[in-house]
C-alpha cells in the first residue's frame, strides 16, 4: 500500500464547539437552539487532506493536542452540514478510533472563516472528482508500445560534422552588453495590463475598516449609494473567468438561486433568490443584479437587489465584504456562486450594514407575497428569466384564490394582469377587441 501524505488545506485559529439538542424536525438544525453565548469548548480548527480523505481536526490552541476529529467523506453530507438559520455554524459528526460517533455543533465568530471552510471543502471534493474522471480516461486510452522490436537498432550522432568529416564550428553564443549599454527589456506577458492589481489609497479605504468583532459582512460605508452601470469592456481574463463561472452554475446549480449574465455585456449579471423556508421571505422571488469590473476577479463586484423585500434597500449598492464597498477584504478565488450564496445567507440574518432595512417580519411576509406580481411587471425580469414566468404566474394565481370570496373582482384584475404578462411572451399580441372579450369572459366566470 502506497504511503499517504498529509496536506493542510485550512487552519482557523478559533472555533467554538457546542452540545446540541436532538433534531426535532426534518428541516435541519438551527443555531438559535444552541447556547451560542456559552460554548462548551474553544480551540483551533485544522482541515487536513490525507490522500483522497479529508479530516477536520479540533486541536488545543496552545499545545496543538488533538481534542477530536471529524472524518469527512462527502460535502454536504451527514459528516458536516450547515445549519438552516446561519452561515457561520455547522453540525459535525465526531468519530474516535473505536468507531464511536457523536454529533456536535461548531461555528466561527467571523463569517469569513466559515466561508473559507465551505470553499476548502468544495475544492477538495471537486479535485477528487476530476482526478477520478482523469484516471478513467487515462485507463481507457490504449497504451503506447515504445519498446525496441527484436533486431531494431538506432543511431545517435553527437555533434555535427562537415561534409569532409571535420567537426563543424559551434554556433556563436550571444555576447553580453558592453559597459554602460542599455539592458533590453522583455515584452510584458499577454494580458498583463488586465491583471494588474491596485492598492487602495488611504483616501479610498477610509471608513472601510472592520468593526469590533471582525464580522466581515458587517462593515459600514457611505450610506445609500445608487447602483452603478457596467463600465468598459471585460478583459480577456475577466471574460474567461465569468464564462467559467456561468458553466459551473449550469452544471452545478445552487438550490434556491438562479443567475445568468447579460448577453450584451458579460460584466452585468442578473439573479433571482427564492425565499428560504421558515423565514419571512418564504414564497418570495427576489430579483437583483451584479455588476463586475473589467479587471475581475482582481476587484469585487457591485451588488444590489431590485425586488422590494424588507431586508435591503432597492437599487442601492449593498455594503458587504463580498462587494465593491470593501476591496481590501476581497478574495479573487470567490466565484459568482460563492457571492450569491453569501448574499442569500446574509439576507436570512439580522446583521446590520449600510443599505440594510429593519422592517418587521409581517412587512417582509407582505413583500414576499407581492414579489411575484412585482417581478412579472418588471420588463428586465421577464426578459432574463422566461422559465420562471410559469412558476411565478401559477403561484400568484394560487395565492389569490385562497383569499376571501368578497375580493372576487380584485382577484380577477390580478389574474388578468398576471396572464397578460405571460401571454405577451408566449403568443403574439392580441387585437384590442379580442382582449376586451377575454376580460368580459373572465369577469363572468369569477362572478
All three cell numbers of 65, joined, read: 493536542
The DSSP letter of residue 378 is: -
- What is the Cα–Cα distance from 377 to 385, expressed in whole angstroms? 13
What is the phi/psi pair of residue 261, to 5°?
Answer: -80, 160
Adjacency order of strands within the sheet including 101-107: 66-72, 53-59, 41-50, 6-18, 101-107, 89-95, 80-82
Strands 53-59 and 257-261: unpaired
- Give the DSSP H or E segment for 409: helix 408-426
Strands (E), 138-278: 257-261, 268-274
Helix pair 389-401, 408-426: axis angle to 10 deg: 170
Strands 53-59 and 101-107: unpaired
- What is the Cα–Cα distance from 21 to 27, expressed in whole angstroms? 14
Kindly give the residue spans of alpha helices, DSSP state H, lying in 16-159.
111-140
Active site residues: 319
Give the dihedral sign, CA 256/250/113/92: positive
Amino acid at each position: 500500500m502506497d504511503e499517504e501524505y498529509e496536506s493542510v488545506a485550512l487552519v482557523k485559529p478559533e472555533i467554538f464547539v457546542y452540545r446540541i439538542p436532538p433534531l426535532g424536525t426534518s428541516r435541519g438544525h438551527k443555531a438559535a437552539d444552541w447556547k451560542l453565548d456559552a460554548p462548551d469548548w474553544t480551540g483551533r480548527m485544522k482541515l487536513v487532506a490525507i490522500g483522497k480523505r479529508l479530516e477536520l481536526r479540533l486541536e488545543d490552541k496552545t499545545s496543538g493536542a488533538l481534542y477530536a476529529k471529524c472524518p469527512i467523506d462527502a460535502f454536504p453530507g451527514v459528516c458536516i452540514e450547515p445549519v438552516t438559520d446561519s452561515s457561520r455554524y455547522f453540525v459535525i459528526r465526531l468519530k474516535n478510533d473505536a468507531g464511536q460517533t457523536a454529533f456536535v455543533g461548531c461555528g466561527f465568530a467571523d463569517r469569513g472563516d466559515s466561508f473559507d471552510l465551505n470553499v476548502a471543502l468544495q475544492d477538495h471534493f471537486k479535485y477528487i472528482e476530476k482526478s477520478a474522471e482523469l484516471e478513467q480516461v487515462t485507463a481507457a486510452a490504449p497504451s503506447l508500445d515504445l519498446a525496441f522490436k527484436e533486431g531494431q537498432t538506432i543511431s545517435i550522432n553527437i555533434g555535427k560534422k562537415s561534409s569532409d568529416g571535420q567537426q563543424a564550428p559551434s554556433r556563436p553564443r550571444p555576447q553580453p552588453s558592453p559597459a554602460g549599454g542599455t539592458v533590453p527589456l522583455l515584452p510584458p506577458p499577454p494580458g498583463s495590463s488586465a491583471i494588474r492589481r491596485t492598492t487602495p489609497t488611504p483616501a479610498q479605504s477610509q471608513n472601510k475598516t472592520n468593526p469590533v468583532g471582525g464580522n466581515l459582512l458587517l462593515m459600514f460605508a457611505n450610506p445609500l449609494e445608487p447602483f452603478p452601470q457596467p463600465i468598459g469592456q471585460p478583459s480577456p481574463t475577466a471574460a474567461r473567468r465569468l464564462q467559467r463561472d456561468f458553466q459551473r452554475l449550469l452544471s452545478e446549480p445552487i438550490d434556491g438561486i438562479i443567475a445568468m449574465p447579460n448577453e450584451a455585456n458579460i460584466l452585468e449579471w442578473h439573479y433571482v433568490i427564492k425565499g428560504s423556508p421558515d423565514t419571512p421571505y418564504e414564497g418570495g422571488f427576489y430579483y437583483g443584479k451584479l455588476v463586475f469590473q473589467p479587471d475581475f476577479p482582481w476587484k469585487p463586484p457591485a451588488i444590489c437587489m431590485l425586488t422590494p423585500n424588507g431586508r435591503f434597500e432597492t437599487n442601492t449598492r449593498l455594503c458587504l465584504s463580498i462587494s465593491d464597498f470593501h476591496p481590501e477584504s476581497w478574495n479573487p478565488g470567490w466565484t459568482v456562486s460563492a457571492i450569491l450564496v453569501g448574499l442569500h445567507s446574509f439576507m436570512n440574518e439580522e446583521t446590520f450594514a449600510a443599505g440594510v432595512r429593519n422592517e418587521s417580519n409581517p412587512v417582509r411576509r407582505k413583500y414576499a407575497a407581492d414579489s411575484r406580481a412585482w417581478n412579472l411587471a418588471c420588463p428586465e425580469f421577464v426578459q432574463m428569466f422566461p422559465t420562471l414566468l410559469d412558476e411565478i404566474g401559477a403561484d400568484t394565481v394560487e395565492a389569490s384564490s385562497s383569499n376571501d370570496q368578497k375580493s372576487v373582482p380584485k382577484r380577477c384584475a390580478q389574474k388578468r394582469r398576471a396572464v397578460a404578462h405571460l401571454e405577451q411572451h408566449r403568443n403574439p399580441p392580441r387585437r384590442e377587441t379580442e382582449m376586451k372579450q377575454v376580460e368580459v369572459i373572465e369577469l363572468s366566470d369569477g362572478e
